[in-house]
């Protein structure tokens, strides 16, 4: 087996799958696995797999042991990820409770809700806290000015702040699209489904507290939209794909709801991208065909997988496109256009609208930054 095939087999094992790991353990280059996991923000997730190997394949590990220094480094990073998850859990429960007490209906997007689907909820690399508040932009901005320290960093869908040292995004709505027609349809879909998401309350591990998170059916559409948005923005990594693996795995594909979800995906212009994601989930993570929410699209799927493997987490490691994610704002603007022109024949509606949306959004942000500064001052 080649390097990437070995890594994919290891990822499937770490997901909790029943994979024969005899040859994988013996042939694995552990330093290459560590480098891959670091690039894709999967160090905690992969260390969980290594801990499982120690229990289930001890003899094979003796034949191909992990270098002690590498193992100690990996263990240390994994413990840091665990501690960061505990910190974010405490902050997200505090935030959710505060918003509810102040009369807001809200739910926590992605993040700690996604972590609950993992075999080990503390193994997922945590990021910021995304909270969707079911209220107007003006009301949220007025509230945030009273409750949080604000800069002038505002985007179409959210306002940025922090709580107890954890970055927070206060969302006016969950996600946007570049194409104005599909964007309008998406916002209508979000509004129609908001109530149930704010009522779906779950408990975080070790008594951290309760939060509301989206239902699986909602996440099928929302998290796919989030992947689609970032695909055209800076890129997506394997961590986001693994999140979506769990979403797809938890959906009952035999239910009548799947038919409605597929109609929604087509109506929102997500059907082709859904096929690409299904291909990646199948090839890289072993998702069975009976769990598919759309037919696999090999052509678009190969493109998506190549982008994921080259760019890593949020495209921070791209070797092509002149490493656009690390360029100055002006240079990045044109490099993004150049990159997205590669996708026009695959996703014309979104790719062609991306530079137009980004230009409009730039001037929109200037307008609202002035408004925020007036509120703050």
Mean pLDDT of successive 10-residue stretches along the chain, which has 377 residues: 92 92 95 97 97 94 96 98 98 98 97 96 96 95 90 87 96 96 97 95 96 96 97 93 96 80 96 98 95 96 96 79 68 82 94 92 83 63
**Where are the CATH 3.30.460 domain residues in the chain?**
91-214
**Cα separation of 82 and 248, whole Å?**
25
Tell me if 43 sits within 8 A of 74, measured CB to CB.
yes
Please state the pTM of the whole predicted model.
0.94
Task: Identify which of 137, 131, 104 has the alpha carbon closest to the alpha carbon of residue 371.
Answer: 137
pLDDT of amino acid 322: 57
**Cα separation of 87 and 158, whole Å?**
22
**Cα separation of 294 and 244, whole Å?**
13
Tell me if 335 sits within 8 A of 321, measured CB to CB.
yes
pLDDT of amino acid 334: 79
**What topology is assigned to 91-214 in CATH?**
Beta Polymerase; domain 2 (3.30.460)
Containing H/E element for 209? strand 209-212
62-66: long-range contacts, CB 8 A cutoff, minimum separation 24: 63/25, 63/26, 64/25, 64/26, 64/27, 64/28, 64/30, 66/30
pLDDT digits (tens, 9 = 90+) for 353-369: 999 999 998 888 888 77
User: What length does the chain have?
Assistant: 377
pLDDT of amino acid 368: 79
pLDDT of amino acid 39: 96
Tell me if 59 sits within 8 A of 20, measured CB to CB.
no
**Cα separation of 191 and 189, whole Å?**
6
pLDDT digits (tens, 9 = 90+) for 304-337: 999 999 988 877 877 776 566 667 777 777 788 8
């Amino acid at each position: 087996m080649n390097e990437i095939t070995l890594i994919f087999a290891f990822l499937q094992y770490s997901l909790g799958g029943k994979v024969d790991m005899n040859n994988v353990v013996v042939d694995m280059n552990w330093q290459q696995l560590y480098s891959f996991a670091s690039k894709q923000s999967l160090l905690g997730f992969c260390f969980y797999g290594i801990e499982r190997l120690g229990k289930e394949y001890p003899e094979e590990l003796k034949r191909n042991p992990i270098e002690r220094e590498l193992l100690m480094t990996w263990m240390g990073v994994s413990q840091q990820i665990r501690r960061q998850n505990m910190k974010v859990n405490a902050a997200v429960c505090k935030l959710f409770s505060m918003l509810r007490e102040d009369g807001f209906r809200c739910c926590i997007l992605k993040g700690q809700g996604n972590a609950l689907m993992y075999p080990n909820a503390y193994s997922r690399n945590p990021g910021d806290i995304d909270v969707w508040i079911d209220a107007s932009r003006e009301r949220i901005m007025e509230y945030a000015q009273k409750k949080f320290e604000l800069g002038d960093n505002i985007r179409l869908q959210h306002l940025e702040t922090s709580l107890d040292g954890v970055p927070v995004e206060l969302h006016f709505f969950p996600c946007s699209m570049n194409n104005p027609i599909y964007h309008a349809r998406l916002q209508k879909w979000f509004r129609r489904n908001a109530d149930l998401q704010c009522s779906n309350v779950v408990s975080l591990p070790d008594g951290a507290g309760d939060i509301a998170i989206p239902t699986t059916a909602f996440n099928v559409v929302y998290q796919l939209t989030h992947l689609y948005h970032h695909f055209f923005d800076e890129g997506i990594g394997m961590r986001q794909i693994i999140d979506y693996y769990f979403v797809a795995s938890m959906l009952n594909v035999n239910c009548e709801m799947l038919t409605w979800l597929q109609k929604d995906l087509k109506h929102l212009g997500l059907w082709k991208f859904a096929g690409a994601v299904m291909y990646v989930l199948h090839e890289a993570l072993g998702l069975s065909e009976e769990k598919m929410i759309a037919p696999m699209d090999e052509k678009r799927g190969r493109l998506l997988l190549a982008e994921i493997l080259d760019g890593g987490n949020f495209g921070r490691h791209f070797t092509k496109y002149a490493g656009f994610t690390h360029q100055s704002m002006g240079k990045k603007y044109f490099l993004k256009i150049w990159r997205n022109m590669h996708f026009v024949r695959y996703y014309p509606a979104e790719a062609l609208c991306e530079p137009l949306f980004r230009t409009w959004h730039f001037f929109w942000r200037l307008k609202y930054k002035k408004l925020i500064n007036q509120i703050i001052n």
